Amino acid sequence: MGLLKSTFTWWEGSTFGTWMGLRGKRKTGEDALGNVYYEGGKDVNGLPRRWVIYKGANDASRVPPEWFSWLHHQIDDVPDRALPQVRRWEKPATPNMTGTALAYRPPGALEKGGRRAAATGDYEAWVPE
């Protein structure tokens, strides 16, 4: 099932066609999440084409900010050489948590018990005339 699955299911990683399209392209680097970055050829504006091959699910929020800037030609060199060292107070990037147990749930959401704060009396309902 491996070859058949990689031929048709793009949502669980790169397909066979993607790997064939990366032949002759240069592997540029890898991030802490295991995503691999490639560069090669030119786009219509004459800039080098750049790709990311996700490790795991294809979710663009899993690309760290430094590699996002490389993918979008905001920096020319790979982040390790082009950007300053990470400061000790900087937090690591987190992927989009929507749809998981770690997603933000505001007070009053059904997932948090469904209890809204009591009304304060400063609300006046609109009445059409």
Whole-number Å distance between alpha carbons of 103 and 73: 31
Q: Give CA separation, 46 vs 3, 53, 91, in Å.
A: 34, 22, 35
Assigned domain for 117 exists = no
Largest CA distance in the chain: 71
Assigned domain for 25 exists = yes
pLDDT reported for residue 89: 94
Assigned domain for 43 exists = yes
Whole-number Å distance between alpha carbons of 48 and 73: 9
Domain boundaries, position 17: 2-86+94-112
Assigned domain for 50 exists = yes
Is the pLDDT reported for residue 65 higher than 80?
yes
Q: Which two tokens stand for residue 123?
A: 């609300």
Range picked from 10-24, 66-80, 106-120 for highest mean pLDDT? 66-80
Assigned domain for 82 exists = yes
Assigned domain for 120 exists = no
3-state secondary structure of 24: coil
Rg of the chain over Cα atoms, rounded to whole angstroms, equals 22
Assigned domain for 27 exists = yes
Assigned domain for 72 exists = yes
Range picked from 17-26, 61-70, 91-100 for highest mean pLDDT? 61-70
Count structural domains, the chain: 1
Contact 70, 37 (CB under 8 A): yes
Q: Where are the beta strands (DSSP E) in the chain?
A: 26-30, 36-42, 48-53
